[in-house]
Structure 1
C-alpha cells in the first residue's frame, strides 16, 4: 500500500464584525408577525428618512464572540398581538438564521418593548415623519435659494459699471 502524504493544514480564523451579525438579525426579523419595527429611537428613524442608508441594523445591538452571540433589541410591537409570542418568534428566527449562516450559537436575546401601536398608527407615524422631514427640507431649500438670489443681486449691484461723469 502506498502511504498518503498529509498536506499541511491551512491556518487562519473566521470572524464576523458586529455589523454583519446585526444585519443578519435585522433582515431575519422582517418575517416576525406582530413586530412593527426594531427601533433605534427618534433620531435613528429621522436619519432613515433623511439619508438613504442601510437601516436594517437600527435598534439591533450585538456582542459577537468567537463561538457565541448575544443580541439586544428595542422593538415596537403591534397592538393586540401577544407580546410573549412575538418575543418567542424573535428568539427563534434569530437563533435559526445566525446558526444557519455563521455556525455561531445565540446565547442571549434581550428584547425591550419601547412602544405598542396599531399597524395604522405605525404607518401614519411613518408617513407623518416623512412629511415633516420633507417640509423641513423644502423650507431649507427655499431659504437657501432666496439667500443666494439676494447675494447675487448684491454682487451685481456692486460690479455694475457706471458711465463716467464728465465735468
Structure 2
C-alpha cells in the first residue's frame, strides 16, 4: 500500500528585503557600478564596509502570487565606462542570482543613471574623513 501525502498547506514566501539584498550584493560585483542611491559599492577601491546595507536604494515590487519581481534603482556609474554594457551585465546577473536562490522570476529591471564619476572623483568623495589628519 502506497501512502501519498498531500502538502496543500505548505507555503514558501520571500520578503521584499530578501530580493533587494540579493540584488544589492549582486551589484557589488559588477565593475563600473559605484553607488546605488546612497549605498556605496566600492568596486574600484575595494573598501566595501560590511556595515553598509546592500538593500538601500533598491526598490522591489514583488508579486508573491505569480512569483515575479520588478526591480528599480538609481545608480552612479564610472565615467568612461559603457553604461548599456554595465546595465546589461547587471540585468543578466540579477536574474541569475535571484533565480538561483529563489523560485522568483525577475520580470523587469530599471536602472536610472543619476551620475557618472571618474575614479579620482570617486576616491576623493569617499576618502575617510580622518585620512588627512596627522597621527
Partner of 1:5: 3
Gaps of 5+ in 2: 41-49, 131-135
Contact 1:35 1:75 (C-alpha < 8 Å) held by counterparts: yes
Correspondence 1:6-85 to 2 at 5 A: 6-9=4-7, 11-40=9-38, 53-66=51-64, 67-85=67-85
Q: Give aligned pairs, total.
A: 120
Give the TM-score taking structure 1 as reference length: 0.66
User: Does the CA contact (< 8 Å) of 1:36 and 1:119 recur in 2?
Assistant: no
Distance 1:88 1:71 in 2: 14
How do 1:85-104 and structure 2 match up within 5 A?
Answer: 85-104=85-104
Structure 1: gaps of 5 or more residues: 46-51, 133-167
Structure 1 vs Structure 2 CA RMSD: 2.0
Stretches of 4+ moved more than 3 A in 1?
none
Q: How far apart, in 1, do the equivalents of 2:86 and 2:73 lie?
A: 13
Q: Which has the higher helix share?
A: 1
Q: TM-score, normalised by structure 2?
A: 0.80
Structure number with higher strand proportion? 2
Distance 2:83 2:97 in 1: 21
Kept in 2: contact 1:18–1:62 (CA 8 A): yes
Q: Which has the larger radius of gyration?
A: 1
